[in-house]
Amino acid sequence: MPPSLVTIERHIIEQQKEYPQATGEFSALLYDIAFAAKLIAREVNKAGLVDILGFTGEENVQGEQVAKLDEFANDIIFKALDHTGRLCCMASEEVKDIIPIPEQFKCGKYVLLYDPLDGSSNIDANVSIGTIFSIHRKISSGERGTLEDCLQPGYKQVAAGYVIYGSSTMLVYTAGNGVFGFTLDPSVGEFLLSHDHIQIPKKGSIYSVNEGNYFKWDENVRRYIDYVKTPDKASGRPYKSRYIGSLVADFHRNLLYGGIFLYPADKSNPNGKLRLLYEANPLAFIVEQAGGYASDGRQRILDIVPTELHQRTPLFIGSYDDVKQVEAFIQGQVE
C-alpha cells in the first residue's frame, strides 16, 4: 500500500471544493492550528530531556497549579494565531478573560476557544495529554471580538478538534462534515490522513470514570455504574473499566473502540469538573459528527447556552446508546 499523501492542507482544500463560497480563510486557520500543534508536540516529546518539567508555582484561574508546558502551549497557540487576521478574539482555559487580538493586527471573522494542554498533571509520568480547540463565527457587530462571540452554544461551532500527544501525535477534527484523523509523520513534519470518516460504535463495552468519586455521586449515577459492572451476557456486561485521567486520551480511545466517558457532578464539584467551552463542546461536536452523543445528564451538551467563560458542566460522552442510557438512569427512568 502506498503511504497516505493526504496532508491536512490538501484534505481541507479538497473538502472545501464542495463549498464554492469558501474563502480559504477557514482552511488557513486550521492549518495555523496544526502548525501550533507541531510546535507543542516537539516540546512535549522533549519533556524529560530538558529542564522543562515541574510546576511554575503559580495557579491558573481554576485554582490549579500551572505546569510550564501549559504556559508554553498557551503562548504558542496565541502567537501562532494572533497576527493572521483570521480571528477576532480568543479564549483559553488558562486565561481568566477573553484574549483580545493585539491592536496592531487586523481582526477576522472567527473566534478560537482552546484548552492548550489538557491533562497536564500527567506530563511528569509520560502519560498522553492533548490540546482541544473550538471555532465559532464572530457574531458581535464591532470590529473586535467580545465576550458575546465566545459565549455561543456548541451547536453553532464551525469546527472543533483535538491533538493527542501519545505514542504518536494525532490531530482529529470536524468541520461539520465528518470526523477525520491525521497522524504526524515526524520525519517530514506533516500530519497525514490516517483515519478517514471516523465513526464511533453505536454501543460500546468500555466505561471511563474516576470511580474514586463513587461515594460523592448522587444515587442515580452510582446505580448506572453498578449496572455496567453487573454481569449480563445478553447486554455485553460487565463493561471494561478504562480510565487514564487525561480527557483527550480517554475520549480518543472510546471514539475508536466505542464506550462512554463520564465526569458527573459530585459533592466537591456540584457542576462537574470539566469546562463547557474548552472541553465539553468541542468533543461533543466531534462525537456527534462520528455518530455518538454527549449530554450533561439532562440535555444535549451542544444545546447549553453558556453564561460564563469558564463554566463547568457534568459530561457524559461517547457511544450513542450508552449516553442515552445513562441519561435515562440520571433522570430516574430506570428502575
The binding site for ligand AHM (CB under 6 A) comprises 64, 93, 115, 118-120, 210, 245-247, 273
For the bound state, the minimum distance from the C-beta of residue 90 to ligand AHM, rounded and expressed in Å, comes to 17
Cα→Cα distances 174→52, 126, 141, 198, 271, Å: 32, 28, 27, 10, 27
Cα→Cα distances 265→270, 281, 315, Å: 5, 17, 8
User: C-alpha 62: how far from its chain's center?
Assistant: 17
For the bound state, the minimum distance from the C-beta of residue 127 to ligand AHM, rounded and expressed in Å, comes to 10
First to last CA, the chain: 52
Q: Which does 319 bind (CB under 5 to 8 A by kind): ligand AHM, Mg ion, none?
A: none
Contact 289, 176 (CB under 8 A): yes
Nearer to Mg ion, 128 or 325 (CB): 128
Q: Which does 245 bind (CB under 5 to 8 A by kind): ligand AHM, Mg ion, none?
A: ligand AHM
Contact 274, 256 (CB under 8 A): no
Site map (CB under 5 A) of Mg ion, residues 117-156, x = contact = -x--------------------------------------
Residue 282, classified by CB atoms within 10 Å of its CB into exposed (0-12), middle (13-18) or buried (19+), is: buried
For the bound state, the minimum distance from the C-beta of residue 285 to ligand AHM, rounded and expressed in Å, comes to 18
Which 92-121 positions form the footprint of Mg ion (CB under 5 A)? 115, 118
Plot region of 18 (φ>0 → left; ψ -120 to 50 → alpha; else → beta) = alpha
* 70 lines the binding site for Mg ion (CB under 5 A): no
Q: Which does 210 bind (CB under 5 to 8 A by kind): Mg ion, ligand AHM, none?
A: ligand AHM
Nearer to Mg ion, 16 or 121 (CB): 121
The residues of the shown chain that bind Mg ion, judged by CB under 5 A, are: 115, 118
